[in-house]
Structure 1
Amino acid sequence: MKRTRSTTVVIVGLIGIVVGLLTNAGLAASGRALLVPPVILGVTLAVIGFVVIALAWPIRRAVRGTATTHLDPFRAARTAVLAKACSVTGALLTGFMIGLLLFLITRSVIAGPSSVWVTVISGIGGAILLIGGLIAEWFCTLPPPSDDDRRGGTEPGTSRSHA
C-alpha cells in the first residue's frame, strides 16, 4: 500500500471546503438554520487522531527493531488502512469545517460568536485527525532495503541461477 499523497489530501480538502460552503449557503437560501457542528465533534476527532497514533506505535517499534514481541502482519495492514482512512477523512472534515467557517464569517449578519468558535474547534479536531492519520501511516511504512540486501541476496520473486 502506498502512502497518501499530498495532492490527494489537498484535493479532498478543497472538495470539503466547497461542500461546506455550499451546504450553509443552501440552508441559508432556503431559510433554514445554518449547520453548526457540536463541540463534541472536534473533541472526538482529536481523540481518534491520537488513538490512531497509539495503535501505530507498536508497529513502528517492530519496524525499527526495538519491539520484544512478534508483530502480526494483519494487524499492521489493518492499522495502515485505518491510518490512510483517517488522513483522508481528516482532510475532508477539515475542509468542510473551513467551508462552514468561511460562510459564517463572510455573512453581512454575523452569527453568534459561539457558533464560529465551535466550528473552529471542529476544524482543529479534523486537522488533528488528518495529522494523526499521516503520522500513523508514516509509522507503518517499511524502510527501504539496504545496499547489502540488494547486492548479496536476490530480489523477491527471482531465482539465482548462473549459466
Structure 2
Amino acid sequence: MKPINPLRLLLICVILAVAGWSATVVTSRYSMATPVLPSTALATMGVIVVITLILGIRILRWRNSHQPNSKTKKTQLDPLLAARTLVLAQACAYAGTVLLGWHVGIFLDQLRIWSLRSDQGITWLALAMAGGGLVMIVVGLLVERFCRIPPEDGDTPGADGKKGRTARGEAAGEGEYAYRGD
C-alpha cells in the first residue's frame, strides 16, 4: 500500500473548495438551502476519529514493544487488524479532505455576505465542519505513520545498499507498514 501523498490531498481540497463555493452560489441564486452538513455530523466525525486513534494506538504500542531495547513481552500483531487500521486511517484522511474542501468553499462564500445576514449560524457551522475535516486529516496521517515499521539495525542491506529492511512491493523506497500486503 502506498502512503498518502499530501499534494494529492491538497489538490482534492482545492477542487472541492471550488465545488462547494459553486454549489453555494447556485443554491443562493435559486433561494435553496445552503449545502452544509448538519451539526450532528460533527458527532459522527468525532466517533470516526476516536476509533481511528484507538486502533492506531494499538498498532503503535505493538510497534514500540518490538524495539531492540524493549523488555516487554513479544506478542503477535494480527495482520488483518493492521491492514484495516491502515485503510481506516487513509480513508479518514481522504474523507477529512473532502469535508474540509467542501466546507471551506461554503465558508468563503458565506463570508462575503457576512454583514448582510442576520443569522450567521450557517457560516459558523461550515467553519466547524471544516475544522472537523482538518482534525480527520491530521488523525488519519498520524495513524498512518503509526502503522509504519521502523528499519532495524543489523538487517541485511536493502536493494539500495542501506541497512534496514528490504523494500518490497509498492512501498519500495517509501517505508513499510506493519501490514505487509504483497
**How many equivalent residue pairs?**
156
Query: Which of 77, 86, 99 is the aligned partner of 2:83?
Result: 77
SS of 1:116's partner is helix
What is the identity, as a one-letter code, of the residue corresponding to 1:54? Answer: I
**Structure 1: 5+ residue runs without aligned partners?**
158-163
Q: 1:27 maps to which residue?
A: 27
What is the identity, as a one-letter code, of the residue corresponding to 1:110? Answer: R
CA contact (8 A) 2:56 2:146 kept: yes
CA contact (8 A) 1:43 1:122 kept: no
Q: Distance in 2 between matches of 1:13 and 1:50?
A: 23
CA contact (8 A) 1:80 1:136 kept: yes
Q: 2:138 maps to which residue?
A: 131
Q: Distance in 2 between matches of 1:60 and 1:70?
A: 13
Please show how residues 1-12 of structure 1 align to structure 2 within 5 Å: 1-12=1-12
The higher relative CO (CA closer than 8 Å, separation ≥ 6) is in 1
Percent identity over the alignment? 29
SS of 1:2's partner is coil
Q: Distance in 2 between matches of 1:153 and 1:8?
A: 29
How far off is 1:77 after superposition?
0.7
RMSD after superposition? 2.4
In the alignment, is residue 116 of structure 1 matched against residue 123 of structure 2?
yes
**Structure 2: 5+ residue runs without aligned partners?**
67-71, 158-162, 169-182
| Larger helix proportion of the pair | 1
Q: Distance in 1 between matches of 2:65 and 2:156?
A: 20
CA contact (8 A) 1:83 1:137 kept: yes
**Change over 3 Å in CA distance of 1:155–1:112 after alignment to 2:** closer
Q: 1:65 maps to which residue?
A: 65
* Moved >6 Å (runs of 4+): none
What is the identity, as a one-letter code, of the residue corresponding to 2:14? Answer: L
Q: Distance in 2 between matches of 1:153 and 1:128?
A: 33
SS of 1:56's partner is helix
Return the TM-score normalized by structure 1.
Answer: 0.84
CA contact (8 A) 1:36 1:115 kept: yes
CA contact (8 A) 2:152 2:165 kept: no
